[in-house]
Amino acid sequence: MQTLKEKVILITGANRGIGKSLVKASLEKGARKIYATARDVSKLPNFGDERVIPLELDITDKAQILKVVEKARDVEILINNAGSFNPGTILDGEISGMELDMKTNYYGTINMMRAFSLVLEKNTPSKIVNIVSIAAYSPLPSIAGYAASKSALFSATLSVRIELAKKGITVHAVNPGAIDTDMNKGSNWDMPAPDGVAKIILDKVEAGELDIVPDEMGLGMFNAWKEEPSKLAEIFSNMYHGE
């Protein structure tokens, strides 16, 4: 068990949703310092705690990433949470939305891992926690571009886990199901609130779990996929065609 007490944590997309909840959960875990990054720091909530250091960061902007690395050389836990979401099918979805999701979720996260790898190597034992999605292995026609970007990120996460394994850096993949954030605005699913999900994610990180599914819906899908991928495809096919 490696607790997060006294650890220095950086969280991307910390102004709302799961990222904001991860900041609150990190404070509760007793982190020493939390770099809460956001594209627009004025949108960061007041966490009411001096341990939270706000930093401006768009993860698609390499120059900004390098500036953040300079300011945050003590990071021990890098939580890549920021993500974009553009719906659309493979045949009809806007290519620009697909490109943006790939640029943010895949290349943006890769650039973060590259930029922080030497810092994390210096500050071992350290961790990368990538917030991926069950979309990484679920056939979801109506959000196919987003799903492809998360599949790419999942693959990158599994590869970099091996690449960094002997360097004292543990890499966690977090694959949530639907969580009640802006990303699912308008959906009438029964979804867990991000605060509880963030706590479960950090509990599982502390417990050393590498592949984390923090919610019931996600677990149901993960188990169906593990049992037989075509079973999950059938569930989503029936949903998509309204059967």
Ligand X SMILES: NC(=O)c1ccc[n+]([C@@H]2O[C@H](COP(=O)([O-])OP(=O)(O)OC[C@H]3O[C@@H](n4cnc5c(N)ncnc54)[C@H](OP(=O)(O)O)[C@@H]3O)[C@@H](O)[C@H]2O)c1
As given in the structure block, the two tokens for residue 208 are 């050393």
As given in the structure block, the two tokens for residue 199 are 């706590």
Candidate residues 18, 44, 55, 98; the one interacting with ligand X per rule CB under 6 A: 18
Residue with tokens 């037989």: 228
Asked if 19 interacts with ligand X (CB under 6 A), we say yes
Asked if 86 interacts with ligand X (CB under 6 A), we say no
Candidate residues 4, 7, 68, 104; the one interacting with ligand X per rule CB under 6 A: 104
Distance of CA 32 to the CA centre of its chain: 21
- Region at 186 (left for phi over 0; alpha for psi -120 to 50; beta for the rest): left
Strand segments, DSSP code E, in 48-136 are: 52-56, 77-80, 126-131
**Min. distance of Cβ 202 from ligand X in angstroms?**
14
Q: How far apart are CA 112 and CA 109, in angstroms?
A: 5
Range in contact with ligand X (rule: CB under 6 A) among 1-9, 45-53, 55-63, 155-163: 55-63
- Region at 13 (left for phi over 0; alpha for psi -120 to 50; beta for the rest): left
Candidate residues 111, 117, 133, 157; the one interacting with ligand X per rule CB under 6 A: 133
Nearer to ligand X, 170 or 175 (CB): 175
* Number of residues binding to ligand X, judged by CB under 6 A: 31
Nearer to ligand X, 40 or 190 (CB): 40
Asked if 17 interacts with ligand X (CB under 6 A), we say yes
Q: How far apart are CA 126 and CA 86, in angstroms?
A: 32
Instruction: Kindly give, in sequence order, each residue whose CB lies less than 8 Å from that of residue 89, ignoring residues fewer than 6 positions away.
Output: 141, 142, 144
| CB distance 215 to 222 below 8 Å | no
Q: By CB under 6 A, what part of segment 160-189 binds ligand X?
A: 176, 178-179, 181-184
**Min. distance of Cβ 104 from ligand X in angstroms?**
5
Range in contact with ligand X (rule: CB under 6 A) among 66-74, 82-90, 112-120, 226-234: 82-90
x/- binding map, residues 205-224, to ligand X, per CB under 6 A?
--------------------
Give the binding site for ligand X (CB under 6 A): 12-13, 15-19, 38-40, 43, 57-60, 81-85, 104, 108, 131, 133, 176, 178-179, 181-184
